[in-house]
Chain A
Amino acid sequence: QVQLEQSGSEVKRPGASVKVSCKASGYLFTSYAFSWVRQAPGQGLEWVGWVSSYSGNTYSAQRFQGRVTMTADPSTSTAYMELRALRSDDTAVYYCVRDRGDLFDHWGQGTLVSVSS
């Protein structure tokens, strides 16, 4: 069965960077892209961006452009999202999601990133 296993919670200072990993199993890694979606406490879902597991191409929401890097490593079946210049309003649960292009059919368990001085 498809599984997306994310790295553990992180606590960061403002201005720092965080890198979240997402190890996929149960399917051919390069067949699907990954999207990253975040959810601030008590808020709705916000799409961050996606990365192609096949080509490495990426696209991010405008508000994250220049601050986020997404990669996918077929050799380890792992996707990564790095967010830089963290601010307090980046505090959220970050989900990796298998992106079929038209829908998100499998979600990781989420990684809590807390940003606080």
Chain B
Amino acid sequence: SSELTQDPAVSVALGQTVRITCQGDSLRSYYANWYQQKPGQAPVLVLYGKNSRPSGIPDRFSGSGSGVTASLTITGAQAEDEADYYCGHRDSSDNHRVFGGGTKLTVL
């Protein structure tokens, strides 16, 4: 099955821009989806496909991808964006799903 790799931790100053990345060979063929998880809560889908946001997700969240790397960018990070972020997608078998290890975002 596919593997997705994320940096364990990233920090950003309040109001600044931060990029969280996800790497894996499968990303040449599939878009990554991004999930935000705050402490004690279930994950929430924040980005999917090429660069789509579910209803209610602020437009400061955007996505991009190139080659084996997918990125989630937060433009003007807010205190409430402090959370764990996971990338994930369906792998080439269509039956298997895979997650990255997660990135802990700290907003300073």
Contact with B along A37-51 (1 / 0, CB 8 A): 100000011110010
Residues of B contacting A104 with CB < 8 Å? 33, 35, 43, 45, 88, 97
> B96 touching A45 by the CB < 8 A rule?
no
Does residue B9 face the partner (Cβ distance < 8 Å to A)? no
Which of B20-28, B63-71, B72-80, B98-106 lies at the interface with chain A? Answer: B98-106
Interface residues of B in 41-82 (CB under 8 A from A): 42-45, 48-49, 54
Does residue B95 face the partner (Cβ distance < 8 Å to A)? yes
How far is B44's CA from A95's CA once the two chains are assembled, in angstroms?
A: 12
> A50 touching B97 by the CB < 8 A rule?
yes
Q: Which residue of A lies closest to B33 (CB)?
A: A103
Shortest Cβ distance from residue B52 to the other chain A in the assembled complex, whole angstroms: 10
Please report the total number of A residues contacting B with Cβ < 8 Å: 22
Partner of A107 from the list B44, B96, B99 (CB cut-off 8 Å) is B44
Please report the total number of B residues contacting A with Cβ < 8 Å: 25
Q: Which residue of A lies closest to B37 (CB)?
A: A45
How far is B50's CA from A103's CA once the two chains are assembled, in angstroms?
A: 12
Partner of A102 from the list B1, B33, B35 (CB cut-off 8 Å) is B33
Does residue B19 face the partner (Cβ distance < 8 Å to A)? no
Q: Which of A101, A103, A106 has the most CB of B within 10 A?
A: A103
Residues of A contacting B88 with CB < 8 Å? 45, 47, 103-104
Does residue A114 face the partner (Cβ distance < 8 Å to B)? no
Q: Which residue of A lies closest to B42 (CB)?
A: A107
A-B contact pairs, 13 of them (CB 8 A): A35-B97, A37-B99, A45-B88, A45-B102, A47-B98, A59-B95, A61-B96, A95-B42, A102-B48, A102-B49, A103-B33, A104-B45, A109-B42
Give A residues with C-beta under 8 Å from B.
35, 37, 44-47, 50, 59, 61-62, 95, 99, 101-110
